Amino acid sequence: MRTEQASGSGTRRRRVRFPEEEPPTAQDGWWQKTLRALKTLLLFSIILGVSLLLWGYVFQGCGPSPCKTPVCQDLLALYLASGNTSVAPCADFFSFACGNANRTSSPFQALEEENKRRVRRILETPGSWRLAPGEEKAFGFYNSCMNTGAIEAAGAGPLRQVIEELGGWPTSGNWTPSDFNQTLSLLMSQYGHFPFFRAYLQPLPTPPYLPVIQIDQPEFDVLLKQKQEPNYAQILREYLNYLYRLVTLLGGDRNQAQKHASFSLAINSQLNQMVGPGEQQRAQDKVFEMVTIDQLQRMAPTIDWLSCLQATFTPMALSPSDHVAVHDLAYLKNMSKLLEMKLSEHRDLLQSHMIFGLVKTLSPALDSQFQEAHRSLNQKLGELTGHPPMPVHPRWMMCMEKTEAFFEPTLATLFIRETFRPRTQSAAMELFTAIKDAFISHLHTVPWMDGETRAEAQDKLSQLQVKMGPSEWALKPDPARQEYDDIQLGPSFLQTFLSCVRSRQARVVQEFLQPVSSHRWQVPPWGLKAYYSIPDHVMVFPAGLLQPPFFHPGYPRAVNFGAAGSIMARELLHIFDRLLLPGGCLACDTRALQKALLCLERLYTALPSPKGTAFEVSRTLLEDAADAGALAIALKAYKKRLVLFRGETILPNLDLSPRQLFFRSYAQVMCRDPSTQDPQDIHSPPTLRVHGPLSDSPAFARHFRCPQGALLNPSRRCQLW
């Protein structure tokens, strides 16, 4: 075998081939194509999987999911029970949200009743609470009030004892004539009864907002103005029958009853006639007048003002040079003249008149015969005047309300422990901050507001304080305030009741004597009234309001913004009511403002009112403006929150999108029977409070796909706020 060697350029070398360098066969080409196809398919599958994951995360994660928690299920049941989905929402959204014929009460009424039941549960389970010294007296008072057997057994005896302490009653033949002002002073200071005028401590509504003694007309048991009542004669007879019955219950002489009752009725009517109309006082910008006690003494000399006020507001040290706020000076002058005339001839009849009024004041602490007499009078007067009578409450409710009044510090602390968690407070504060920020940014879109006014409004909103849920003293109560050392329980419920009356009055005076370190709450924690305090520049939302169905941390955001959020926005807007009044904003574009106000007035006038209701748009205009603006601001805040945070939820089985649920929750706040509205209410009927703002909202028409020209999608809209 010959082997080739490398021996020069012309010599050829033989190359050795390795197996991998063999030329591809047909089978090898097929395998390469299959491998490339598999790689492509794998890459496509990965891309598709990632895309599906991203789609699910972005769209499905941000899309609304049903809220199935117990609180949401309860809210869903309420919405289903109150609404009527057979009604077209664009034609009558009030009926769509509130039109169920089986609806028995408004959400506000239902929540108020639920809060009362919560307080009742607290009072009826004293062993469930760790009580500070003295706090058990609250439970002792409630139990004494509920002990009707002991109250009925005592009968009128405790009341007769009180009357004897006041000098007796001429109708019983056991009366010792006493000084009129001494008796009046005792009635005011010891028994909480003000027969001829009211005196109370309250901050003035104008700067510097200092607390001052204010004197106003009395609270009349029945209004006796002949020209206004077609059944005047029958009203007199019913009231006389009531007074006769009181004489009988107290063992008085029925032969003298007619004379004493007729006198009381006559003086009551005369005092009624002296009361000036509140509208006239407001028109004259004379809500009150500041006068010294000495000046008041000279203008209305029959009353010993210094001694009566000093006794009522002990331990305040009063002098003739101290000022008081008088709400109707003409009434006090005429009242003084009338009393001077009656005292010279009928001191005994005047004593009877004061006793009649005292019995009415003390009726909650008396046996059932006195309470039934007063209830019967209210019912008959309601039938004669056309006004609904006072509802008859169960015994526990009356006892609970009196316990709330006398022992608020104790019950406030226990109510907060029972119903209001820190999580709820922080969530409500977060909601309010979102509403306030939306309002501040919304001011740039208000067409009639000038730059300086807008800047002042923004600054005012930025400096606003807010109290959310419980007051500071309810969270950290001062033990010294809980002892109630001055309250004596027994020997009768009436004596217990009177001891509590005096204790509460003393606490009120002591609070006003203390230096003002923080805002004094005007509502208890279980109350539903949100308010704005001008003197303190503080807005308050009590814990009783921040409850289902208006608010809960676990609700869909659409519900909280639509219900509680619109309530918060409405209160914020009321801070600036002054700007909407004539001359309230001289630097603003008054023509644009008046045009917007007129547009809003026409918008509400064009809406159909419920049958049997009547309202004046001019009287309700400020509230209408707040309603419409609140909806716009709450919606703006909600839309911003959707952009910042994903994961919105909805209520199942309602077939409503999140934004539709927002409008549904806004309307739910207004659900109420229109026929129950007070004719003097400054708000529009509830149907208009729903339809007015919604018809002024383009977003509502868009999200409910309302056709142009539908009731809630008019061709023209207003822009006031």
Chain centroid, CA 455 distance in Å: 30
Contact 352, 169 (CB under 8 A): yes
Outline where DSSP puts E strands in 408-559: 465-469, 531-533, 538-542
Contact 354, 187 (CB under 8 A): yes
Which spans in 287-346 are helix H?
293-299, 305-312, 329-345
Q: CB under 8 Å to 448, separation ≥6 — which residues?
A: 588, 589, 590, 592, 593, 596, 720
Q: If you write DSSP's letter for every residue of 427-456 in order, what string do you get? A: HHHHHHHHHHHHHHHHGGG-TT--HHHHHH
- Torsional class of 538: left (φ above 0), alpha (ψ -120 to 50), beta (otherwise): beta
Q: Which of 135, 216, 408, 571 is catalytic?
A: 571
How many CB atoms within 10 Å of residue 532?
16
Single out the residue of 693, 695, 700 nearest to residue 715, CA to CA: 695
What are the structure tokens assigned to 509, written together? 């005076």
**Which class for 60: exposed (0-12), middle (13-18), buried (19 or more C-beta within 10 A)?**
exposed
Q: Residue 686 in 3-state DSSP? A: helix
Q: CB under 8 Å to 242, separation ≥6 — which residues?
A: 373, 374, 376, 377
DSSP lists the bridge partners of residue 469 as 542
| Known active-site residue 627 | yes
| Known active-site residue 571 | yes
Q: Residue 212 in 3-state DSSP? A: strand
Q: Which of 221, 627, 648, 696 is catalytic?
A: 627
Contact 712, 694 (CB under 8 A): yes
Mind telling me the catalytic residues? 571, 627
